[in-house]
Amino acid sequence: MSDRAAALQARLKKNLRRLEPWARREDVSSFRVYDRDIPEVPLTVDRYQTSEGLFVHVTVFEPRHGVADAEVQRWADALCAELQVDRAHLEIKRRERGGAREKLAAHGVRCEAHEGGLRFLVNLTDYVDTGLFLDHRRLRARVRQEAAGRRFLNLFSYTGSFTVYAAAGGALCSRSIDLSPTYCRWTIDNLRLNARPGVDPCTAHIVEQADVFAWLEQPASAERFDLAVLDPPSVSVSKRARQALDVHADHPWLIARALERLAPGGVLYFSTNLQGFALGAVSATAVDDISDETLSPDFPRRPPIHRAWRIVK
């Protein structure tokens, strides 16, 4: 075993001693166990307990000089040994400098992960991300706590996890908007996975494939929402979009237009994973930085993995 692999295994042991009691106490089955803790071992490691067993999802953040395949395999051996996971259930992805393709493969295999008493489909092989952002679990919980009797809007909805939480919290109705047909279908699947038998959740919870920019540019209809989430990707250059997205440049417009869709006193949660982000001027009744409140113990890294604000119209 190399010195770096040994250091990785020692850090995993230390992190698990800290995280496993918290995970049992809060019934968290999937969580991050390592986040580039050692600069010479540039990995993130997420542990997923799923319907098909225990899986470990690893991302290698390629430094400028790259990482030798042999070294990555030594790290993989250390991960399997310490996390007690079968090598076939260890998924390793390399994220190159300057970004990576969203779609990596086309196996199409999904399994269920559980969170907060809810069920979510995750795909651990085909995409850079799995379909469930673990760092947002506390923000999802806030949405559920505030959703009862409210109309919910989810912009850049991805696979609809915020919408599932809103529905579970008693939202009257919702509208989830994303440009990707794959993610829209995934959202519908997640909603149906959590619905009561014999109930079609998509009657009240509408999933709309649309460019969020184009949707927000349309004249506001009579439809108003009481609670909303705006969690755009940091950068997007989809060919289907009306324009490329740069969250730093575009967020003031996005926030302003999203607030127009809210009823008086409505709440917008805005979040971004863009490092070094600074929130621009926002015209609202209240703007509160809630970032620290939305991060759980498996994401202690500083600067934080995401920033989040609660904005009241």
Instruction: Work out the average pLDDT over 177-189.
Output: 97
Q: What is the dihedral of CA 278, 257, 287, 169, to 10 degrees?
A: -110
Note the pLDDT of residue 2: 86
Distance separating alpha carbons of residues 65 and 58, to the nearest angstrom: 19
Residue 202 — φ and ψ, nearest 5°? -80, 0
**Choice between 180 and 236, residue whose per-residue pLDDT is larger:** 180
pLDDT attached to residue 234: 81
Q: Is the pLDDT of residue 242 over 70?
A: no
What is the pLDDT, as a whole number, of residue 102? 65
> What are the C-alpha distances in Å from 105 to residues 101, 129, 166, 208?
10, 12, 31, 25
CATH superfamily of domain region 133-312: Vaccinia Virus protein VP39 (3.40.50.150)
Q: Residue 94's pLDDT band (boundaries 50, 70, 90)?
A: confident
Q: In this predicted model, what pLDDT tens digit does every residue of 265-285 receive, in sequence order? A: 999 999 999 999 999 999 999
* CA-wise closest residue to 240 among 177, 161, 196, 179: 179
Query: How does residue 89 score in pLDDT terms, banded at 50, 70 and 90?
Result: very high
pLDDT digits 0-9 by tens, 38-49: 999 999 999 999
pLDDT for 112-162, tens place per residue?
999 999 999 999 998 889 999 999 999 999 999 999 999 999 999 999 999
| Beta bridge pairs of residue 173 | 151
- Res. 237: pLDDT tops 60: no
> What pLDDT does residue 98 have?
45
Query: For residue 236, what are its two tokens?
Result: 């997007």
Q: Which residues of 247-264 are buried (b: 16+ CB within 10 A; e: fewer)?
A: beeebeebbebbbebbee
* pLDDT given for residue 100 in this prediction: 41
Structure tokens at 241: 């979009």
Predicted confidence (pLDDT) at residue 190 exceeds the cutoff of 90:
yes
Exposed/middle/buried for residue 125 (C-beta within 10 Å: 0-12, 13-18, 19+): middle
CATH class of 3-95: alpha beta
pLDDT, residue 238, reads 60
pLDDT classification of 300: cutoffs 50, 70, 90: very high
Can you spell out the DSSP letters for 82-125?
Answer: HHT--GGGEEEEEE-TT---SB-------EEEEETTEEEEE-SS
Indicate the domain borders of the chain. 3-95, 133-312
- Token pair listed for 86: 């079968």
Q: Which helix (H) or strand (E) holds 25?
A: helix 3-25
User: Strands 235-236 and 173-178: what pairing?
Assistant: unpaired
| CB neighbour class for 194 (10 Å; exposed up to 12, middle 13-18, buried from 19) | middle
Contact at 8 Å (CB) between 167 and 199?
Answer: no
Residue 24 clears pLDDT 60, i.e. is over it = yes
Which of the four pLDDT bands, split at 50, 70 and 90, describes residue 295? Answer: very high
pLDDT of amino acid 85 = 96
Q: What pLDDT score was predicted for residue 101?
A: 45
For the chain, the straight-line distance linking the first and the last C-alpha, in angstroms and rounded, comes to 56
